A and B are shown apart, each in its own frame.
Chain A
Amino acid sequence: MSAFAGLMRTTKLPQWVGSLLPVFWAVIVGFAVCGAIAGTVGLSPLLMLTELIKGAVEGPQIFETVARAVPLVGMALAAAMPLRAGIVNLGTDGQLVLGGCVAAIIALYLPAPDGVRIVLALITGTLVGGAYAALAAAGEIYARVPLLVSTWLMSYPAKGLCGWLVHAPLADPLVAWPSTRRIPLGTRLEHLIPGTPINDGFLLIAFAAILIVFLDRRSSVGYELRLRGLNERFARYGGVAIDRQTFWLMFASGAMAGLIGAVLVLGSQYRFTDGALTAPQYTWSGTLAALLAGGEPLGAIIAAVLFAALQTGGFAMERSVEIPRVLTMVLESIVILFLAMRGAIWRRR
């Protein structure tokens, strides 16, 4: 392992190859283990593998994977940004829900032309998510409430408030599940590729992802974040305004989550339904992806896309050959464990 690590350090590969290679190994090992498990219970490992891959990328399935990757990448970035500087936002769930809820309300009730409404819905959803996370930052800056605690706890009132809104005042009486009315056609995000679930949200998140990777590598602000993540005391010593950075960083992270909420509501769910945004556990997978990459945005994006592929592949496999999807969860866990272990081994050197 150390010889391999040494090779990694000395050879001059482009950075993205470096971040991709361990993921590749992790997947191979994950497949091997899952194949072995499948084999012992009498399922064909080869069948499992091919079905999983087909389910993730074959034909129209590739669009499913991309559609799933959009929110996952977004949530991975929302978690990765603060992590890059060594702080955490555990409240992206709440910020996601707030963003989606606010976007739905604006799309439904704002008396304005469609075009204006959709833009305002996106912007407001983003800003509200950001503001809510920034509130937690202010709590840490002015009252020393640890972000770890406040972001986590503040998720509950956010989810509670939005849930109450769709239970009572804004509820659509026609559906059983507590949700808003369906938002009108004109204020939905358009399908980018007709006949697929991919909508304009893809462009928004892709743009945000490129921007974040670029700023991380090439901007003064990204430099300060990175250095703070490596040694906060050093960053402070050099004059980095830590508190101001915390505030805006949390704002950006929450805004990303809020944007995802708005995109999901305006682009695929078409109404805000209690629990619908959090049920697919984008937050959870996104946070894991960010943790695996140690907050490095490109690595987080790659991990998030991989998770999206595994998840759609798993669904498809279950549907087509009745191999239980649990196996893909096993696969996912093994990939994660292996990647995390690799991190520890490399750090120890």
Chain B
Amino acid sequence: MAFLEMIDIVKRFPGVLANDHVNLAVEQGEIHAVMGENGAGKSTLMAILYGLHAPDEGYIRLDGKTEIFRSPIDAIERGVGMVHQSFKLFESLTVWENIVYRREPRRGLFIDAKAAQRQVAELAARYGLPIDPIARVGTLPVGVRQRLEILKALYRHARILILDEPTAVLTPGEAVSLFEVIRNLAVNGCTVLLVTHKLNEVMAVSDRITVLRDGKVTDRLVTAETNPTEIVRAMTGRNVLLQVGKTARPAGEIRLEVKHLVVDGRNRRAVDDVSFALRSGEILGIAGVAGNGQSELVEAIVGLWPTDGGAILVDGKDVTALPIAGRRDAGMSYIAEDRSRTASAGTASAMDNLALGFHRRRPIAVHGLLNLREMRGWARTLIRKFDIRIAGETTPVGTLSGGNLQKIVIARELAHDAPVLIAEQPTRGVDVGAIEFIHAELVAERDRGHAILLVSAELSEIMALSDRIIVMFEGRIVASLTRAEADEATLGLYMAGGRKEAA
């Protein structure tokens, strides 16, 4: 009998069978990956294990004892800890205060701060999680906050740690150190449930894999004996091309030109004298660890953020002084990094979301009035063309999975048929099937002679799609390479701040 078992778990939501007789068996000290596309039921299963949802059928057996967790308090009591995708931390408090919260070591009536800090430092050292106990959480980068969440669970004596899509918010570097932490935890006897849909992560750290699709277990695999293709087949139920088919193609004339661009961020110079040219028929990848000025560069190019020097030209026309609408008219479209905050309105229908930018033009608008029938037809066409899984065009898009919402954004932006496309993290948090689709669309766009600026923190994505690659570090371009010159090692070196001369 396994250390932890979830037996015949069934969970229904209105209209959805999220978990359909799921069985999961995990050994102590194992790193067990739970894989599946968005909506497969991974988070639901984990929520049941953590006592956030009660299962409609089935039960949990932990250490030979049958359990039903009524709340996370029960789960924590029995040694189950969970790190959620959005962290639940007090930003104005320090690291140690967050960790010991509600479990403070006391001296009389008072919290024993010294003892608490010492305990936190010991715990951090034991599990190899370097952290400064007295730092304020608000000042910490995402990767460290996650580490703090893990410590919080360990402080509550978690023997089973659930990590739900932990790398979605991390830079590649942070992800690598997270994996080290996970391995360390397993060595120390902690059982880790790693929820993800990223293949390389699973291949890198997990011992065994349970794959879900549409709420059912489709496969149980031993990592050492399987390969990405097999996992993807189990996840999607079909064969997915993991390589992007792309033929060499000469680049055309210059479409977007950025000259000596300077952008001041909130409290520092975010983009410092950046120049490059983007030609039609090419994909120019911008690599770099998140936070090195890529977001500011992109926002300045599209007009969401003011520039502080330099010029931006589209087809030779200076658009630096134009508002967003003017730049879009000049031939720019933009897949924004943050699809739910910037690139869509969650409470608005798919119809409304897909019409933005087309709502003042024929055929959707005639003399300033909307033709609702055209608008609906337009939405239906795009939903069909991009195979967006949605109940109907009047459904609010906030209910969609990441991949489907991203398809809404991409469908709209590609429909502009603009000569310059700016694609910022186009596949972040999107499942494998959708990644394949989005990559194919981007390449098709390039083959149609459009110019694409691709910003991605995923090196594999940059490598798979780009014709040329520039690397940003601390707001500057530190390297500009052709695809042939670039390999992971070289790019990694530049991303870490290595100079051109060093290579």
Q: Which residues of A contact B (CB under 8 A)?
A: 6, 218-224, 226-227, 230-231, 233-241
Q: Which residues of B contact A (CB under 8 A)?
A: 14, 302, 304, 323-325, 328, 334, 336, 341-348, 352, 355-357, 359-360, 365, 368-370, 372
Majority secondary structure, B binding face:
loop
| Contact indicator A227/B324 (Cβ below 8 Å) | no
> Of A230, A235, A237, which one neighbours B347 at CB under 8 angstroms?
A230
Q: Hey, which chain A residues are within 8 Å of B352, CB to CB?
A: 223, 226-227
User: How many inter-chain contacts with C-beta < 8 Å in the A-B complex?
Assistant: 67
Q: A218-B369, A236-B304, A239-B328 are in contact. Are A223 and B343 (CB under 8 A)?
A: no
| B119 CB to nearest chain A CB (Å) | 37
| A14 CB to nearest chain B CB (Å) | 14
Q: Hey, which chain B residues are within 8 Å of A226, CB to CB?
A: 348, 352
Q: Hey, which chain A residues are within 8 Å of B341, CB to CB?
A: 231, 233-234
Q: Hey, which chain A residues are within 8 Å of B355, CB to CB?
A: 223
| Contact indicator A241/B325 (Cβ below 8 Å) | yes
Q: Which of A219, A223, A233 has the most CB of B within 10 A?
A: A223
Q: A219-B369, A233-B342 are in contact. Are A238 and B356 (CB under 8 A)?
A: yes
CA distance A240 to B358 in the complex (A): 11
Listed A/B pairs (16) with beta-carbon separation below 8 Å: A218-B369, A221-B368, A223-B370, A230-B345, A230-B346, A231-B344, A231-B345, A234-B341, A234-B343, A234-B356, A235-B345, A237-B304, A237-B334, A237-B336, A237-B343, A240-B325
Q: Which of A219, A231, A238 has the most CB of B within 10 A?
A: A238
Q: Hey, which chain B residues are within 8 Å of A224, CB to CB?
A: 359
| Contact indicator A238/B357 (Cβ below 8 Å) | yes
Q: Hey, which chain A residues are within 8 Å of B14, CB to CB?
A: 6
Q: Which of B324, B336, B347, B355 has the most CB of A within 10 A?
A: B324
| Contact indicator B370/A218 (Cβ below 8 Å) | yes
Q: Hey, which chain B residues are within 8 Å of A230, CB to CB?
A: 345-348
Q: Hey, which chain A residues are within 8 Å of B325, CB to CB?
A: 239-241
CA distance A23 to B396 in the complex (A): 24
Q: A220-B359, A237-B342 are in contact. Are A231 and B368 (CB under 8 A)?
A: no
| B334 CB to nearest chain A CB (Å) | 7
| Contact indicator A220/B343 (Cβ below 8 Å) | no
Closest to B334 in A: A237
CA distance A231 to B397 in the complex (A): 13
Q: Hey, which chain A residues are within 8 Å of B336, CB to CB?
A: 237
Closest to B372 in A: A218
| Contact indicator A220/B360 (Cβ below 8 Å) | yes
CA distance A220 to B363 in the complex (A): 12
Q: Hey, which chain A residues are within 8 Å of B323, CB to CB?
A: 239, 241
Q: Hey, which chain A residues are within 8 Å of B304, CB to CB?
A: 236-237
Q: Which of A222, A231, A236, A240 has the most CB of B within 10 A?
A: A231
